[in-house]
Structure 1
């Protein structure tokens, strides 16, 4: 496929070869369904009939072929189809397994290795769909978030802003200095699995913080009162600094120093929020693999046990 200017147009693997694998999977499902409706065994549909064995063999063959994708992706010189074609087949044939394997067992389930294999197959397919949706939506959000930047540069800038903030705080007061140092120590980038997926529990800043600070500073500067200082432990660092600005008696020079420090804190917190959002998006992008691959291996083991038990104990 090419655009009017002659340049090739990117084509999703889902539409590979004009949806070849989607058509094949649909045809396979229709044939299986027609055979299932036509076949009327005396004991009812089950995996022990000739059709049950046939559909079971097709399902097992499909599972083994789909598991081979992980190997094919690393065979860079292989001529056995393209990775895009294999991925397209992986998606559509994987979805067809839901119907084919259900027809294979005649929708009969119980507390046994056969149903365990079926459940694992459903979980593998579900995690694969999750990955498909994630890779369709999250990369665009990551690109927009980066905007030409990258996480390593943001982290370096956060460290530099911390040093600048501590340097400015040294010139103000010991109380301000201790507050800024404590704030820098409490910053959390990434963390455990929950923090990576959803961000740290403690809010560390975000969009619109600079605007809200500017409004707050304007209110504080226009206020006539100079009440007692608020204890640092009762407010977050930004609001504590806003309170310091209201109480300053050192003239415009000290007020300008506090203003600059507030701007540094606002920018730092925005960067921290951006870093944690970037970590969360990448974690969500990779989480499905942590489920999909182990579940696929468990499915393979259950499939072997299922086939072994059928041919050696039934």
Structure 2
């Protein structure tokens, strides 16, 4: 009997992150590149001082340019799921560590000489791209686990459906408690805010103060009414409170007590429904905020990367054609 050969060798734990890929292979390579660059910089002693125009400056500049172009290719590689050029996790690991190595390589390339020119502009853009990339590393190593814990196996769409169902349930209960309660619950449903623009996604939707005050007053209103009903139910019958201590009066008291019990049950049920609904809304907005923070850095990182490519081209052209 023949057994099928494994299709792929597993070189790393299944749950290892991209920073630990292949036993920190790319981190070791980045450290080696930085060490060699620093050693060459300390050994090199040009007459005019370290600068981008020496042979070492050209060497480090070429290395930095090649790294920038190669790292930019990650965006293309991530969309080629059947590529044989390595895994996305491996490319991401290389992107992070070699991107950090650029700080050392590019700084030594220019010999710490900065000014108001296209060369320094390209350097500044590179640093901005690296800084935004570092933010991306932080959020991608922390937020996915926070999202998983928040969702706990459920989905945002299911939460939203439940919010609609709880709203309908709250209105049905409010109908049994009178027009005033009904109006307050309908107004509360209209004041619900989920998601919105970029700011609302990142920090939560901003509810108008009047709406927030009205919504907060609903719980207080229902709680006070529930306390009043409970007070009537727990208050003992005082035979001296009335001269008509008859069977008919007792029957009326029993009927009133029955109504109070039903009202108390409905009020408590309505409070529970509103509490569950509000907790779900907060959970949904928290989930939206985590996802927005996971993606918003790309709105900065990607445009800066294209700006860096343009500045890099201008830097190279100016060096070779105008110097």
Q: CA deviation at 1:233?
A: 4.5
Corresponding residue for residue 16 of structure 2 = 11
State the distance in 2 between where 1:276 and 1:59 align: 42
Report the TM-score when normalising by structure 2.
Answer: 0.82
Is the Cα contact below 8 Å between 2:128 and 2:304 reproduced in 1?
A: yes
Aligned CA distance change for structure 1 residues 33 and 8 (closer, same or farther; 3 Å): closer
Q: CA deviation at 1:42?
A: 2.1
Corresponding residue for residue 225 of structure 1 = none
Q: CA deviation at 1:135?
A: 1.2
Largest Rg, 1 or 2: 2
1:133-172: CA deviations, max 9, x gaps?
Answer: 1111111111111112110000000001101111111121
Corresponding residue for residue 161 of structure 2 = 156
Corresponding residue for residue 186 of structure 1 = 191
| Matched position secondary structure for 1:236 | helix
Corresponding residue for residue 242 of structure 1 = 223
Corresponding residue for residue 204 of structure 2 = 199
Match of 2:181 among 159, 167, 176: 176
State the distance in 2 between where 1:8 and 1:273 align: 36
State the distance in 1 between where 2:156 and 2:215 align: 32
Is the Cα contact below 8 Å between 2:64 and 2:105 reproduced in 1?
A: yes
State the distance in 1 between where 2:141 and 2:277 align: 31
Q: CA deviation at 1:31?
A: 1.0
Corresponding residue for residue 277 of structure 1 = 286
Match of 2:315 among 301, 306, 312: 306
| Matched position secondary structure for 1:288 | helix
Corresponding residue for residue 220 of structure 1 = none
Corresponding residue for residue 134 of structure 1 = 139
> For structure 2, which runs of at least 5 residues remain unmatched after alignment?
1-11, 233-258
Q: CA deviation at 1:202?
A: 4.2
State the distance in 2 between where 1:202 and 1:247 align: 31
Total equivalences in the alignment: 281
Report the TM-score when normalising by structure 1.
Answer: 0.84
**2:150 aligned with 1:145, yes or no?**
yes
State the distance in 2 between where 1:286 and 1:203 align: 27
State the distance in 1 between where 2:99 and 2:121 align: 17
State the distance in 2 between where 1:233 and 1:125 align: 46
State the distance in 1 between where 2:72 and 2:262 align: 68
1:220-255: CA deviations, max 9, x gaps?
Answer: xxxxxxxxxxxx859532112212323457511112
Match of 1:31 among 31, 36, 46: 36
State the distance in 1 between where 2:203 and 2:150 align: 16
**Structure 1 residues 271-280 or 76-85, which shifts more?**
76-85
| Matched position secondary structure for 2:113 | coil
Corresponding residue for residue 261 of structure 1 = 270
Q: CA deviation at 1:177?
A: 0.9
Is the Cα contact below 8 Å between 2:118 and 2:311 reproduced in 1?
A: yes
Corresponding residue for residue 84 of structure 1 = 89
Aligned CA distance change for structure 1 residues 89 and 234 (closer, same or farther; 3 Å): closer
| Matched position secondary structure for 2:128 | helix
Is the Cα contact below 8 Å between 2:191 and 2:207 reproduced in 1?
A: no
Corresponding residue for residue 254 of structure 2 = none
RMSD: 2.1
State the distance in 1 between where 2:122 and 2:51 align: 16
Corresponding residue for residue 20 of structure 1 = 25
**Structure 1 residues 126-135 or 58-67, which shifts more?**
126-135
State the distance in 2 between where 1:112 and 1:59 align: 19
**2:75 aligned with 1:70, yes or no?**
yes
